[in-house]
Chain A
Amino acid sequence: MAWSRDDMARRAAQELKDGFYVNLGIGIPTLVANHIPEGVDVTLQSENGMLGMGPFPYPDEVDADLINAGKQTITELRRSSYFNSADSFAMIRGGHIDLSILGAMEVSENGDIANWMIPGKMVKGMGGAMDLVAGVKRCLVTMDHTNRAGASKFLKSCTLPLTGQNCIAMVITDLGVFEREPGRKFRVSELAPDVTLDEVKAKTEADLNWE
């Protein structure tokens, strides 16, 4: 059985190490916060200007001046700090964040990622995604293995405008976990329960190391 969104988030959470500063993207990556392993202490960064993101507020605690990068109301923790956007991106671009978990529309076999625009159709913008993939020490993608039409999102090369080149070290999909060392091909390091290698091969356009 393929992994659910929550399963993918739980698997991604295993990549968190004690003491990490982590930036979580919108969608499945946001769910990772619900699965931080016992005994692992991480500090979540929100690129709109906060370190130490707390949980959603109780209804009587909602503060319009306290939101996360997904524009949701949140709370602060004892460790929290606030800062301006230039300082926030100094953390990101200066290589001070340990791990970034992002969603993607496409990932290519050489670690390129596309997740910010569909020409002529969707105009949203890259927000902080280009800065994250260029500056964070390790970038990990969670995404469905195929799109709604059943076509592979794990490609030989991205068809959409790139967010970054050669920057993704790990991809977690509903079918499994794929990892690569710099300059190497992705290899299958884990399969979701009851998913076969043949099924993954059939649903993957990218040339992976299948051994």
Chain B
Amino acid sequence: MSNKVYKTAAAALEGLTFDGMSVMAGGFGLCGIPENLIAALRDSGAQNITAISNNAGVDGFGLGLLLETRQIKKMVSSYVGENKEFERQYLAGELDLEFNPQGTLAERIRAGGAGIPGFYTKTGVGTVIAEGKPTREFDGESYIMETGLTCDVALVKAWRGDTQGNLQFKKTARNFNPMMATAGKVTVVEVDELVEVGSFDPNYIHTPGIFVQRIVEAECEKRIEKITTRERA
């Protein structure tokens, strides 16, 4: 049985990082981000990274870490409103940015991982998103073509994983992680809890281990962007 288990996030990225690489990182805001793998990617020193992630972290956390060190050359995201350093670098022309509508981004990654090179969608018709893209009519309605996305290394965060890479995600920390797991040439997963094969009921595995090449158990800070609560009556 091949060994997919690594002891540290740094070891899990060993030999996979290089200048000019493309990386996907799961998460929505700071929820469900592979925070230890992102820190390990920063420490690897890889430069000119193309990062595909719904958001760009916040200043000093998540992908914000790699923006601070200028290791990211280009971001592919749907929303980057929570990161001042990002906005500064972009408006100063120091960073490339490709905005994708969130659903288009999710579908591009799903398609890429499924071997689908392109698809048509209504999202973005008549907007700047459609510029330069082929269009086609279906049943009298106009659609634009979007392409599938893959990457050199997908960094994924799961709740629990077994030693074969079967994964379960927790609540809304699932988000982009399952699609990204399918779209990496190599997929590296960090989990809150690593368990033995056979611990999961096969009915309740969200991502089958075939999509996972490396897995590491790591403690997460799980920073919260906006703690909102109500008072007990």
Contacts and interface: CB of A to CB of B under 8 A. Distances in A.
A48 interface: yes
A145 B206 CA distance: 46
Given A58-B232, A164-B127, 7 more contacts: A49-B172, A49-B175, A58-B231, A67-B29, A85-B179, A123-B90, A131-B103
Given A57-B229, A83-B174, A85-B54, A161 B123 contact: no
Interface string B1-43: 0000000000000000000000000001111100000000000
Contacts of A131: 101-104, 123
Interface in B218-232: 222-232
Contact of A85 (B106, B170, B227): B106
A86 B106 contact: yes
A77 to B, nearest CB: 13
Interface of A: 46-50, 55-59, 61-74, 76, 82-86, 88-89, 92-93, 112, 120, 123-131, 134-135, 161-166
B126 A93 contact: no
B79 interface: yes
A57 B91 CA distance: 37
A87 B179 CA distance: 10
A131 B77 CA distance: 14
Given A48-B172, A93-B103, A86 B110 contact: yes
B195 interface: no
Nearest to A93: B103
A124 B75 CA distance: 13
Nearest to B97: A123
A85 B182 CA distance: 14
B107 interface: yes
A93 B103 CA distance: 8
B228 A73 contact: yes
B230 A55 contact: yes
Interface string B158-175: 010000000001111111
Contacts of B107: 86, 89, 93
Contacts of B169: 82, 84
B145 interface: no
Given A64-B31, A83-B174, A163 B127 contact: yes
Nearest to B104: A131
